[in-house]
Structure 1
Amino acid sequence: MDDGVSSFVQIRGSVPLFWEQPGLQVGSHHLRLHRGLEASAPAFDRHMVLLKEQYGQQVVVNLLGSRGGEEVLNRAFKKLLWASCHASDTPMINFDFHQFAKGGKLEKLENLLRPQLQLHWEDLDVFARGENVSPRFQKGTVRMNCLDCLDRTNTVQGFIALEVLHLQLKSLGLSSKPIVDRFVESFRAMWSLNGHSLSKVFTGSRALEGKAKVGKLKDGARSVSRTIQSNFFDGVKQEAIRLLLVGDVCGEEVADKGRMLLDNTALLVTPRILKAMTERQSEFTNLKRVRIAMGTCRMASERRM
């Protein structure tokens, strides 16, 4: 079976809305939505269409909580998906990880999450190919999110990967217990290293473990490190990302004015120049008076006792 190949692709991504975490983030998460649901709908639709074009059928697994700022984002995400044209063919599985699997109680994943996922295995399938192997093709992916797509997502994606691993090995004709156990052991070690590597890239610390007393002490130290990193050092990273993706690092007000007044190439200038150009807009813009008619209608009903 040296030529046998099998794979299963999963996707992780932030909630596809316009939102941010302003101010100091200590303890609970403070979130702010930049745009309403109607204004976010076109970008959300493009995102889902792109996923379906590239990966096929989508199953959304939402791990956001139901308290504080996460609850606001969670509710907005569900409303936007259910109100979109993708609601009919894009199932959403909502699993509050902090509520059901708090303290590393991963048996809840088996009891509560596994039955919901099993409903969609046939729609997704796995890829398998090789000599004396019946060809199989993956037809869709699981799109998963928590808030930062790190610890919770790492845990649940690892759980799903282990569930699918048995199916992959069976499709390759490797179903004996010693072989399966060896693959599972190797995968756990590999996935742990993967989670730590991703966490270091985004937070500067290893992934949270959430188990045993020693693990909780380590998690506490890592949480403090993450708080310092996110509140005092992430600003420069965010500006670099924005410069690469958007082309400017201006404040929202200046950037919005610049987009209305200038073409996209002008947005590549420094924020100082762009601000000066928006302040001197009267020198290169003309005003034109327009008339706008607006009407409202209020339907009042009379209740009789």
Structure 2
Amino acid sequence: MAAEVPAWEGYTLYIAPESYLFDPITAKDAGEKKQVLKIERDEEGSITLLDSMPTLTLREKELKVYGILGQITLHTAPYLVLVTARKQVGTLSGHALYQATDFRICPVPRDSKPSVMEHPIERTLLELLKTHLYSAPFYFSYTYDLTSSFQRSESQRGALWQRADERFFWNRYISTGFIETTASGKTDLSKFILPIIFGFLELKQINIKGNDLTYGLIARRSRHRAGTRYFSRGIDATGEVSNFNESEQFIILNKGGKETRSSYVQTRGSVPVFWAEVNNLRYKPDLLIMDKHETAEATALHFQKQVATYGENYLVNLVNQKGYEKPVKDAYEKAVEELGNPRVHYTYYDFHHECKGMKFEKVFGLIERLQGKGLRAEDYFQSDGGRTTRKQSAVVRTNCMDCLDRTNVVQSTLGRWVLNQQLREVGVLASGEKFEDQKEFWHIFRNVWADHADVVSKAYSGTGALKTDFTRTGKRSWEGALQDGVNSMTRYVRNNFFDGSRQDAYDLFTGAWTPRKGATGDKRAILVRLMPYIWLLSVAILVAAFLAPRSDDDATRNKITAVAVIVAFTSFYFITERGLEYVAWPTLNRPEETMYYDGPGYSSGRHGRAAISAHYEGNRKGPKSTARDILAEPAKVAKGRRGGEYTQ
């Protein structure tokens, strides 16, 4: 196997009109010869490695850079994406771990003038890119592969990018140019490729009964089908699901000069069938289960990948078995039944019924049921002094509707269950002892898992997780329930009016959408666009009328008030009946197939579609239009199109 090759730990970047020069920063004891990366600022943007720095002129600008995330092409030009600030968040087995805290986006061509970068499409795409960089928690190491679990790392060799798990190599798409150049054999850029993860990382130094331990938790978010809560649901034809996260809990014990490492991996991901929730300004969007002919194949492919990666899969479904969520539960169970995979074990757990009255400690009853199906607390990874002594051969895959709140409670409980076994195995706890009795560590454990929950939730829903008061304190409180209510309302606002651009940013950075020239604007009818302003004006008039002092001209005021009430009610009704048109949909990959789907399956309703109801209901004179018709002739839905895709 190839030797492990770390990445350079930073550079001095010299910015000249003709080229970018990246001069690696090396440690004092590094004996390896360094090479300078040169990127030409011409149309080709050719890349070469120089054995030494060329003679500099007075024209160069200097910049300290801590990593090259890659290169991305926008509307008018390619750009380098650089890490310009970092903070160390811990050390793992001697490897320094960092979080990226500041970035720089540099245009490659020398003729990229400010006027070009101010092009409306270019400016929009740059803002999306910047928003994504500064809103996502990115972690990296120059010498350690954060994309891989402890167990996977044992068998990986080669350069850092070669060892990386492509699912969690978040900047894999924008690193494509460097990777292809290296793979072609022309120029080895391995030391300049820095994989990052998008997720959560926290390390804590603890002491239990005189034993010094490192306790940690890592969440790795998959770059496949990445997105936001309502704009990314279910599965795609390649078997990838939305909001897939791998969470790894670990402990490291150094005793007698020997390092013992134990880790436990869990996964979460959207229900692996074709389904969606179509926003329409209602608190509960329209639920849609799409009964596609490729569902069985996509679900089978998903679990083939999961079994190949993790071994036995124990599925825990927390979706409600009554009311709004029931069709999702039924679709999942049907898909698993048709799957017929003997290594996939399904368990349904009615979370809200079993934990009624905020008694979330009852989740241990779920663990007992999983044990009855073969899950073992001893099934985790462990190595002693670099020698693998135990491998994890199964994984619990947990989901609720969003794979956030209920899922977090169950995952932290499973982590607690396994951690006790791990601590007993390494001799820190005696048989029958529990780490929960160690007051300081119990507090750390709860808060690390609650922080993990908040980060995973924020990436998908836009707010912190619900029910974290239980995770932090071990009990459910009414204060926590009140905070959950605030978070729920915040989610509603963000998911309807702000998540379209967040979804665009995910699609841009991960390569789910590639820039094309041209753009279409807001095609909604003038009246549709004006109606929110009419409603706001009428409400303002009502407030003013209510606050104004009484006068002799009350009759006139009453008439104005009556008219304002009628206008406010009428405009509000107009907006809610056309809710689909007022949602801030993604504009890069606009989900029109989902928005206008009328094929086989289940739909809870088609609310907020008054302006396009003819496309569903047809009319007395003509046949009913199908989703395929609508996609083939987008002009049919021009009045319901808010924003538009960038087109050729």
Structure 2-normalised TM-score? Answer: 0.37
Q: 2: distance between equivalents of 1:160 and 1:123?
A: 9
Question: Are 1:116 and 2:116 counterparts?
Answer: no
Q: Structure 2 matches for 1:155-304, cutoff 5 A? A: 155-176=409-430, 177=433, 181-182=437-438, 183-209=441-467, 211-242=476-507, 244-245=511-512, 249-250=589-590, 251-252=592-593, 253=628, 272-273=647-648
Q: 2: distance between equivalents of 1:167 and 1:159?
A: 13
- 1:14, distance to aligned residue in structure 2 (A): 0.4
- 1:99, distance to aligned residue in structure 2 (A): 1.9
Matched position secondary structure for 1:4: strand
- 1:193, distance to aligned residue in structure 2 (A): 1.0
- 1:222, distance to aligned residue in structure 2 (A): 1.1
Q: Which one of the candidate residues 326, 332, 345 is aligned to 1:71?
A: 326
Aligned counterpart, 1:22: 278
Q: Which one of the candidate residues 83, 97, 104 is aligned to 2:358?
A: 104
Matched position secondary structure for 1:21: strand
After superposition, the Cα gap between the structure-2 partners of 1:240 and 1:133, relative to the gap in structure 1 and judged at 3 Å, is: closer
Aligned counterpart, 1:39: 294
8 Å CA contact 2:420–2:434 kept in 1: the answer is: no
Residue type at the aligned position of 1:170: R
Question: Are 1:137 and 2:388 counterparts?
Answer: no
Q: 1: distance between equivalents of 2:302 and 2:378?
A: 19
8 Å CA contact 2:261–2:382 kept in 1: the answer is: yes
Matched position secondary structure for 1:135: strand
Aligned counterpart, 2:315: 60
Matched position secondary structure for 1:11: strand
Q: 2: distance between equivalents of 1:115 and 1:68?
A: 27
Residue type at the aligned position of 1:204: G
8 Å CA contact 1:199–1:205 kept in 2: the answer is: yes
Matched position secondary structure for 1:141: strand
The structure, 1 or 2, with the larger RCO (C-alpha pairs under 8 Å, 6+ apart) is 1
- 1:232, distance to aligned residue in structure 2 (A): 1.4
After superposition, the Cα gap between the structure-2 partners of 1:132 and 1:76, relative to the gap in structure 1 and judged at 3 Å, is: closer
8 Å CA contact 2:296–2:338 kept in 1: the answer is: no
Q: 2: distance between equivalents of 1:178 and 1:91?
A: 29
Q: 1: distance between equivalents of 2:358 and 2:330?
A: 25
Structure with more strand by fraction: 2
8 Å CA contact 1:123–1:140 kept in 2: the answer is: no
After superposition, the Cα gap between the structure-2 partners of 1:235 and 1:34, relative to the gap in structure 1 and judged at 3 Å, is: farther
Q: 1: distance between equivalents of 2:320 and 2:359?
A: 16
Unaligned ranges ≥5, structure 2:
1-252, 470-475, 515-587, 594-627, 634-644
Aligned counterpart, 1:125: 379
Matched position secondary structure for 1:15: coil
Equivalenced residues, count: 259
Q: 2: distance between equivalents of 1:25 and 1:140?
A: 41
- 1:235, distance to aligned residue in structure 2 (A): 2.1
Q: 2: distance between equivalents of 1:85 and 1:157?
A: 26
8 Å CA contact 1:30–1:68 kept in 2: the answer is: no
Matched position secondary structure for 1:9: strand
CA deviations on 1:103-134 (whole Å, 9 max, x unpaired) are 42113212x31211223223981111215999
8 Å CA contact 1:125–1:139 kept in 2: the answer is: yes
Q: 2: distance between equivalents of 1:173 and 1:254?
A: 67
- 1:21, distance to aligned residue in structure 2 (A): 0.5
Unaligned ranges ≥5, structure 1:
259-269, 274-305
Q: 2: distance between equivalents of 1:160 and 1:29?
A: 32
- 1:173, distance to aligned residue in structure 2 (A): 1.4
Question: Post-superposition, which runs of at least 4 consecutive aligned residues in structure 1 deviate over 6 A?
Answer: none
RMSD: 2.8
8 Å CA contact 2:270–2:402 kept in 1: the answer is: yes
After superposition, the Cα gap between the structure-2 partners of 1:66 and 1:72, relative to the gap in structure 1 and judged at 3 Å, is: same
8 Å CA contact 2:315–2:396 kept in 1: the answer is: yes
Aligned counterpart, 1:287: none
- 1:101, distance to aligned residue in structure 2 (A): 1.5
Residue type at the aligned position of 1:150: L
8 Å CA contact 1:57–1:124 kept in 2: the answer is: no
Structure with more helix by fraction: 1
After superposition, the Cα gap between the structure-2 partners of 1:255 and 1:138, relative to the gap in structure 1 and judged at 3 Å, is: farther
